[in-house]
Amino acid sequence: MIITIVGGGSTFTPGIVKSIALRKDELEVDEIRLFDIDRERQDKLGVLVKWILEEDLKSGIKLTVTYDEKEAYTDADFIFAQMRVGKYAMREMDEKIPLKHGCVGQETCGCGGMAYGMRTIFPMIKVIDDVEKYAKPTYWILNYSNPASIVSEACRKLRPNARIINICDMPIAIIDVVAAALEVNKKDLVYDYYGLNHFGWFTSIEYKGEDVMPKLRDYIMEQEILLPAAYLKDKQALTSSGSSGGNRHTKGSWYYVWKGVYEIMQNFPETLPNTYLNYYLQQKEFVEHSDPTHTRANEVMETREKNLFDGIDRYLATGEIDESVFYAGSHGDWIADLAIALKNDTKARFLVITENRGAIPNMPYDAMVEVPAYIGKKGPEVIAQNEIPLFQQGLMMQQLNSEKLLVEGCIEGSYEKVLQAFTLNKTVPSMKVAKEILDDMIEANKEYWPELK
């Protein structure tokens, strides 16, 4: 049993490896391979991963660190894909260019997300082709490379027969916070959800069979935020750009995202929104409290990135390891558990991004939607939904068509279609602004994007 991690130089790699190793018996894993095109980053992460497997957990799992596609994928069973094309330097551009024009600057939403998506589409297709060439015929690619909505649409269009499941950990992070706020065990929560990736709604949350949505709604209205009461005792620590440790989704500028859940539910209280809906429903307000010179990319570079590589350097110099410098929470656990469900045919319930095919009756058949599914050896068995309300359907159709136009424009090299995608996106106020942002994005991404004519 071989698991290959694409993007082995990611700061998430140590946590994911630890999650795999802790499930060694269920996965029956013999070898983990790290594959990245950035040798310097991956070599450093490889040192930490080696410590985890050999010293910390004494797992007996073989580690291979490689920069060669054939070595990475030959006879692999699972491929965990976590690419960040352009790394944090380009994420910073994704966030700061739209803000310069008065629009939301965010990693996966709005113009920044579209820019990131256009950098990721063709590298993801190359991964699929290389995996098809070298891996076992029964391989599964678990892709959590962002922006998952755009990447999954491109995969559907260009490689419809690939054995790939596109996933996202943000709904899991939200459930983590809900469980902490309600002081319950998250493993006992069962929820229903529908939407697009980073664009959806929880319609019910049950704890041991009890509907806890009314209790959760009351809590959010009372606290005026969706964060556990214990977190709110020190607002300065929460909002500080230098915050690190703990739940990575609740630090720095994330505070305003959780505050935004309360603001959305003041007006639309029936469902719990995915936190990313703030960027579409409160775009003006989020631009106003954003710092165009210091965005979340800067926060991550100053905390998670810096802490991890400083920690590795200390280990190399002194032999002492500080486990707090790498994140090992729900992100890695969820991906490893998904692999277990596929391998062992458990029919466990997960949220996945999949072709609609009637799961949401009043959305297009070929829409890539995010819905619950039972996961077994044949892949997702999607749980059908009822027709969704007009408000949510209207928002989803606008977002879906923006993403479809973007993918078509990227594949065809069409400036007009990409401009239409930017213009249609709800975070952009006008065609003129869309064109200004796009032209700046083209210049910033000239090393990564196809030529647009």
Question: Residue 363: its pLDDT value, please?
Answer: 98
pLDDT of residue 262: 98
Q: What is the pLDDT, as a whole number, of residue 254?
A: 85
Residues 33 and 27: their CA atoms lie apart, in Å, by: 15
- Other beta carbons within 10 Å of 77: 21
Q: For residue 246, give the amino acid letter.
A: G
pLDDT higher than 80, residue 65: yes
**Model-level pTM?**
0.95
Q: How far apart are CA 276 and CA 301, in angstroms?
A: 21
Mean per-residue pLDDT for 226-232? Answer: 91
In the chain, CATH 3.40.50.720 sits at: 2-166
- Strands 164-166, 62-66: pairing is unpaired
Across 208-217, 225-234, 320-329, the highest mean pLDDT is recorded for 208-217
**Active-site annotation, residues:** 169, 276
**Measured distance CA(296)–CA(247) in Å, rounded:** 15
397-434 burial by CB neighbour count: b if 16+ within 10 A, else e? eebbbbbbbbbbbbbeebbebbbbbbbbbbbbeeeebb
Residues 17-56 have pLDDT tens digits of: 999 999 999 999 999 999 999 999 999 999 999 999 999 9
Task: Look at residue 329 in the predicted model and tell me its pLDDT.
Answer: 63
- What is the average pLDDT value for the chain, to the nearest integer? 94
Given a cut of 70, whether residue 383 has pLDDT beyond it is yes
Check pLDDT > 60 for residue 250. Answer: no
Angle, CA of 33, 34 and 39, to the nearest 5°: 145
Residue type, 355: E
* Burial class of residue 239 (count of CB atoms within 10 Å of its CB; 0-12, 13-18, 19+): middle
* Burial of 87 (C-beta count, 10 Å sphere; 0-12/13-18/19+): middle
Structure tokens at 164: 């790939």
Residue 132 CA: distances (Å) to CA of 33, 78, 251: 17, 12, 39
Q: Give the domain 2-166 fold.
A: Rossmann fold (3.40.50)
The structure tokens 């551009």 sit at: 93
Q: Tens digits of per-residue pLDDT, 350-374?
A: 999 999 999 999 999 999 999 999 9
Residue in 347, 399, 353 with CA at minimum distance from that of residue 144: 353
Sort strands 2-6 and 31-35 into parallel, antiparallel or unpaired: parallel
In the block, residue with structure tokens 């994911």? 16
Report whether pLDDT(178) > 50.
yes
- The model's confidence at residue 297, banded by pLDDT at 50, 70 and 90, is very high
